[in-house]
Every structure is written in C-alpha cells, then in structure tokens.
Structure 1
Amino acid sequence: MTPAEKLASLGISLPPVSTPAAAYVPFVRSGNLVFLSGHIARRDGQPWAGKLGQDLGTDEGKQAARAVAIDLMATLQAAVGDLSRVRRIVKVMSLVNSTLDFTEQHLVTNGCSELLGEVFGDAGKHARSAFGVAQIPLGACVEIELIAEVE
C-alpha cells in the first residue's frame, strides 16, 4: 500500500502547507535529504496551546503530536511531490511544552512516531529525540521537526 493509500484508509487528508510564521522556509532539500522546519501542533486551524503536566495530559499531548505528523507529511509531500518518493524517515525531534515535573515527553511524541510508522511501514521507523521545554512559540503544546531521505 502506498503512503497515499494508507492515509486514505486511515481517513486522513493532508492539509495545505502552513505559511511560516517567521523568517524561515518550511523545508530545505540537500541531496537526498529533506529537512522540515519545526511544525507546531494545531487544532481547528489554531495553535494547540497548553503545557503538558498543567493544562494537558499525556493522551491529549499524544493526539497533538499525531496532528503535527499529519502537517509534517503535508509539507514533505509539497517538498517531494509524492510521499512514495520517501525512502526513510531518518530523524524526528520533538519539543514538548511541559512542566518541570512532567516526564512523559517520549510518550507524547509517540503520537507522531506511531503514525509515521503506520503510513510508511519500515521506512517510517526513525531515530528520535524528545525534549521537555519551558515554552514553544504561540504557546503550542508540541513542536516537531523531521528529516527524511527521498529519491
């Protein structure tokens, strides 16, 4: 099953690529690597604001990270034209807006990682970092960036 077919079977349609909110571009391609800028979690078109461990629990954070994965795939598709050209998701870096005592950033980030695995199969298995941070732009609860190898 192609990534597009898998997305359709999951009932997911990719949104338009978001316009950067500052002085950067959504992606840069260098050789066979595509580097996607950090994407913040959005709900109903607005930043999904909140702090894990204070306003949001792990399950809601995981849903937010899954929403980020959908936006990342939309940008990746814009970068390469067809998600079937993705050879491998190489690396995911996740920033989780969280309290000092919140320690489940890795579980929040699973929302992104699990969806990438579902859509890309073995090519979706990636190296990853998940960090707790004091704040993210626009008060978003999660921001994730991605590196992919493409044809």
Structure 2
Amino acid sequence: MGKEFTTEEGIRAMEICALNVLAQIVEKVGEENILGLNHIDAYYQSLDDWDDAPIVVDGASDLFVKVLGDAGHHSRAIFGVHKLPRNFSVGLTVSLTMI
C-alpha cells in the first residue's frame, strides 16, 4: 500500500479478500450455520509512511455487514507486516460462531 496500490485499490483488495473468506465459510459450514462473525485480523503490506489501514480494512468490515447483516458485526485488529505469502497486499483471518 502506498507504492504499488492506492488506498482505493487496497479497499477493493480487502473486499475481494472478504468475499473469498465468505465463499470458504459457505462451502465448509454453510451460511445458515453462521450465528455471527466475532473477530477479524487484517494484515497489509505498506510503505512506512502510509497510514490508511483502517480505511482499507473498512472494505472487509463493511462487506461482512452487508452480506451477513447483524451477524457480520465484529471486532478487529489491524497489522502492518513486512511481507505476506505470495506477496499478497492484504490478508484476513476470521473467527466466527456457528450452530
């Protein structure tokens, strides 16, 4: 972020990441079995002086609420990292409650 990707592109990358997470959850446990999203850990790569991480992570947070409604509300932690696997720009881990 801040070099090869703009903040707006980072938001879109986080939305795509969240969609991938939702697709995996639906495939593995089924949407009907989700009681709620508890917490997300969001990871991003950036330049040292880039400081729009909360705005970028809103891309995932907003999408979860849009798709899951009240069940999509969650707490979150945001981590700037030196490197992500395969040089991804963003990544997510999600904790949820299921039936």
Q: Which letter maps to 1:74?
A: A
> Structure 2: which 5+ residue stretches go unaligned?
none
Q: How many residues in Structure 1 have an aligned counterpart in Structure 2?
A: 99
Give distance in 2, aligned partners of 1:65 and 1:84.
24
* TM-score relative to the length of structure 1: 0.64
Give distance in 2, aligned partners of 1:129 and 1:102.
17
1:2-151 residue pairs with structure 2 within 5 A? Answer: 52-80=1-29, 82-151=30-99
Q: Check the 8 A contact 1:95/1:143 in 2, yes or no.
A: yes
Q: Which letter maps to 1:112?
A: A
Deviation string for 1:85-113 (max 9, x for gaps)?
Answer: 11100011000111111111111111111
> Structure 1: which 5+ residue stretches go unaligned?
1-51
Give distance in 2, aligned partners of 1:68 and 1:133.
17
Q: Which fold has the larger relative contact order, with Cα–Cα distance below 8 Å and residues 6 or more apart in sequence?
A: 2
Give distance in 2, aligned partners of 1:73 and 1:118.
12
Q: Check the 8 A contact 1:99/1:134 in 2, yes or no.
A: no
Identity among equivalent positions (%) equals 26
* TM-score relative to the length of structure 2: 0.95
Deviation string for 1:25-58 (max 9, x for gaps)?
Answer: xxxxxxxxxxxxxxxxxxxxxxxxxxx0111111
Q: Check the 8 A contact 1:53/1:99 in 2, yes or no.
A: yes
| Displaced runs of 4 or more, over 4 A | none
Q: Which letter maps to 2:11?
A: K
Q: Secondary structure at the match of 1:95?
A: strand
Deviation string for 1:107-139 (max 9, x for gaps)?
Answer: 111111101000111110001011111111111
What's the offset of the Cα at 1:78?
2.1
Q: Secondary structure at the match of 2:48?
A: coil
Give distance in 1, aligned partners of 2:7 and 2:90.
11
